[in-house]
Amino acid sequence: MVAAPLPIYATRHWYCAALSRELRSGRPLARRILGRDLALLRSRSGSVHALAAVCPHRGANLAEGRFDGDTLECPYHGWRFGLDGRCRLVPSLGPGGRIPRDARVPAFPVEESQGLVWLWLSEDGPPKTPAPRHAWMDGYRRMPGVRLYPASALDAFEITLDAAHLAFVHRGSLGRLAPELPDFEIQHAEDGQSFSAVVRLSGEKPIEQPSLIRRLSRPTPWRELRAHCDLSGVAVSALRSDGRLDTAFALITPAAERTCWFFGGIAQETTPAWPVRLLSEWIGRRLLREDQRMLGRLLGREHGEFEQPLSVRSDRPALAFRGLYARALRAEGKAPA
Ligand code: FES
Ligand SMILES: [Fe+2]
């Protein structure tokens, strides 16, 4: 078990920790985030809480203990911890026993909004801003799913911003796509906390819609593609010529150095007919598996080539992400990843 957050990741921002529906009263959710083992809890009154899961007595995993909605019982010797992390009972000492002052685990700030549970894991003080709200999350018709990726969060960000891999990694599910890509224009937000990679599709060099999806849904053509990226994830929006907007999003949270949580879903302004929906969900799951397989096989990191990778024009969105991330790390006094 790793005690402190991983130094290679930025910590002074909100991370998506879970889907709201994963947290049920009476059952702790064990989740490793930024190398920390946590017990995520929903109290009897419905509030959400995050406690460090390492019991200060002998290091058992508190997330494997019993939770009655108010106190969490360690599975090893039954010490009971309140939602503030303080130990309330040491059963072997009896009801009036003196509880050691250090018998407590850290409790971290958590907020719940839009069906997501956000976590603040920084040790440099409490959050200065509320958890993010995303306009595109308000409209989502389909709940996101969660999976553990066998890749660093940084690689997962990059593949999500990378259109050049589609024609190769996803040949099996998307069919033949033209590999040549139009230029993405990078637009940085004024506060420097996010950017968008935008391509307007005026005709000469359109990004093809994947053939299977095209055949299934007979969509109106895309007018603009926009990948919006901040430190919590990426939302890729396709604006159709009739003004409708479809968004696929991925919130990416480091689990450990080489694994990350990937909360992904689709937001659409209209719900497609159920056969189209089921098929596109099936394709979505295949795409994620294909990405996962590729990321799990990257050799670059082991050979130390990640720091100075060779990049071309189509890597501009990924390079913008690296710039954003390097700035966040510098602001925390950490060397760039
Ligand atoms: S290890 Fe938790 S009570 Fe002993
Ligand atoms: Fe992909």
| Averaged pLDDT for residues 220-244 | 84
Q: Are residues 159 and 262 in the same domain?
A: yes
Q: Determine which residue's CA is closest to atom 4 belonging to ligand 1.
A: 77
- Give the Å distances, CA to CA, from 105 to 44, 70, 136: 20, 15, 36
Q: Cβ distance 67 to 78 under 8 Å?
A: no
Query: Residue 304: its pLDDT value, please?
Result: 56
Residue 96 C-alpha to ligand 1 middle, in angstroms? 18
The answer to whether residues 244 and 320 belong to one domain is: yes
Residue 52 has pLDDT above 50, yes or no: yes
- Residue 314: strand, helix, or coil: helix
**pLDDT of 247:** 84
* pLDDT score at 139: 63
User: Residues 147, 225: one domain?
Assistant: yes
Residue 8 lies in a domain: no
Ligand 1 probe mutation, 37, 54, 55, most atoms within 8 A of CB: 55
Does residue 239 sit in helix, strand or coil?
strand
Contact residues of ligand 1, CB 6 A cut-off: 55, 57-58, 60, 74, 76-77, 79
Domain contains 148: yes
| 97, 143: one domain | no
Q: What are phi and psi for residue 121, nearest 5 degrees?
A: -110, 5
Last residue of a domain, one of 62, 92, 120: 120
Measured in whole angstroms, how far is the alpha carbon of residue 133 from the centre of its chain?
14
> Of 233, 234, 240, 146, which is closest to residue 197 (Cα–Cα)?
234
Q: Are residues 82 and 221 in the same domain?
A: no
Say how many domains are in the chain: 2
* Residue 288 and residue 200 share a domain: yes
Q: Separation of 87 CA from ligand 1 center, angstroms?
A: 11
Q: Which residues contact 301 (CB under 8 A, 6 or more apart)?
A: 152, 155, 258
What ligand has the least distance to the C-alpha of 56?
Answer: 1
Nearest ligand, measured from the Cα of 59: 1
Residue 285's CATH number: 3.90.380.10
> Do 147 and 63 belong together in one domain?
no
In which band, very low, low, confident or very high, does the pLDDT at 205 lie, cut at 50, 70 and 90?
Answer: very low
User: What's CA 166's distance to the chain center, in Å?
Assistant: 21
Residue percentage of the chain with pLDDT more than 70: 86
Token code pair at residue 120:
């603040």
Tokens in use for 168? Answer: 């190769």
User: Per-residue pLDDT averaged across 282-300, rounded?
Assistant: 86
Residues 156-199 pLDDT 10s: 999 999 989 988 999 887 777 788 888 899 999 998 899 999 98
* Position 7 in a domain: no
CA nearest 104: which of 41, 57, 61? 57
Q: What is the mean pLDDT of residues 120-139?
A: 84
Say if 258 falls within a structural domain: yes
Sole residue written with tokens 């009971």? 80
| pLDDT score of 290 | 93
Q: Could you tell me the pTM of the whole model?
A: 0.89
* Ligand 1 atom nearest to 59, measured from its CA: 1
- Tell me if 31 is assigned to some domain: yes
Distance CA 6, CA 255 (A): 9
CA 335 – CA 337 distance, rounded (Å):
6
Average pLDDT over residues 111-115: 92
- Do the Cβ atoms of 189 and 320 come closer than 8 Å? no
Q: Do residues 80 and 207 share a domain?
A: no
Q: Which tens digits make up the pLDDT trace of 53-94?
A: 999 999 999 999 999 999 999 999 999 999 999 999 999 999
The CATH code of the domain that includes 48 is 2.102.10.10
Q: What is the number of the ligand closest to the CA of 63? A: 1
- Ligand 2 centre from 320 Cα, in Å? 18
Domain that holds residue 42: 14-120
Residue where a domain terminates, one of 120, 143, 166: 120
Helix-helix angle 153-160:316-331, to 10 degrees: 140
